[in-house]
Amino acid sequence: MSNHFTIQRAREYYDLGVIASFNLVRDPISTGWIVCIEGTSGMSWTLHTARGEVRSFASLDSAVKAVEETGMRVSSLKVSA
């Protein structure tokens, strides 16, 4: 298994109950969004591509769809400064 935290690994961790929440954060390098994952034990990860690069999504909609691919249902978004 790769050392990169991909959607597949996030799905596995979510099914095991290891993931507590997801946060969508503005990518500081581009105009996209990064998926940050919070674990139940306080660990955190960033979603990566299979090549090991931080995965940046062009829109909130595409980032939400990626989160939902893990099995988590997104029912609302909270915006903060």
E strand segments, the chain: 19-26, 33-39, 44-46, 56-57
pLDDT, greater one: 26 or 78: 26
pLDDT in tens, 52-75: 999 999 999 999 999 999 999 999
pLDDT digit string, tens, across residues 18-37? 999 999 999 999 889 999 99
Any domain includes 28: yes
Q: Is residue 80 part of a domain?
A: no
For position 34, what pLDDT does the model report? 95
| 77 part of a folded domain | no
Place of tokens 């909270």: 78
Structural domain for 26, as ranges: 7-69
Least Cα distance to 19 among 42, 39, 43 occurs for: 39
Widest pairwise Cα distance in the chain: 37
Residue 43 lies in a domain: yes
**pLDDT interval class at 77 (50, 70, 90):** confident
Q: Specify the number of domains making up the chain.
A: 1
- Beta-bridged to residue 46, according to DSSP, are 36
pLDDT at res. 4: 78
The verdict on residue 81 lying in a domain is no
